[in-house]
Amino acid sequence: MKFLKRIVVGFDFSIFSSRVLEYAASIAERNMAELIIVSVIEQQEIDYIKTVCEHTDSEIITLEKYIDDETRKRTHSAENMIRELVPKIVQTRIIIMIGVPYEEILKVVDTEKADLVIMSSKGRTNFHDYMFGTTSEKTFRHCPVSVLSLNLRQ
């Protein structure tokens, strides 16, 4: 049996994120694996903010300020959840990326030489997901390692 060394957790701060993190932490603890929490600031969001910045006073908002604030907010929230839900014995890291979520998750899998990806499967929730698929579906199709997609709806 192969032991897991690095587990990537796709983290979107949805209502399911805490349960995904708890589940991933229990697997990491049993395998003495590192948890790498990946959150992606979506490229669509960045493009929108760029447009807003073009029509707004730079003292109010800049793209760099938005990215810094969003990165800080996500890091702080993830650190709080880690403190609350992950046993201290489990080594964790937080990576904030910018881009298309499944593509960025796959980049982290490659660069970190991850053994497993864990994320939630929320189902089709809007027209975009219906037409183009969810992040978890695309990750599952293209990921070179095993993907555990958790259906946490009750």
Given CATH 3.40.50.620, say whether it is the number of domain 7-123+144-150: yes
* Mean pLDDT, all residues of the chain: 87
CA dihedral 43, 152, 124, 11 (to 10 degrees): 0
Q: What does the alpha-carbon distance between residue 33 and residue 54 come to, in Å, rounded to a whole number?
A: 45
- pLDDT tens digits, 8-40: 999 888 888 899 999 999 999 999 999 999 999
> What are the extents of the domains in the chain?
7-123+144-150
User: So what's the pLDDT on residue 59?
Assistant: 73
pTM value?
0.86
Among all chains, which residue has been given the structure tokens 């998750």? 105
Q: What does the alpha-carbon distance between residue 133 and residue 33 come to, in Å, rounded to a whole number?
A: 30
DSSP state at residue 2: P
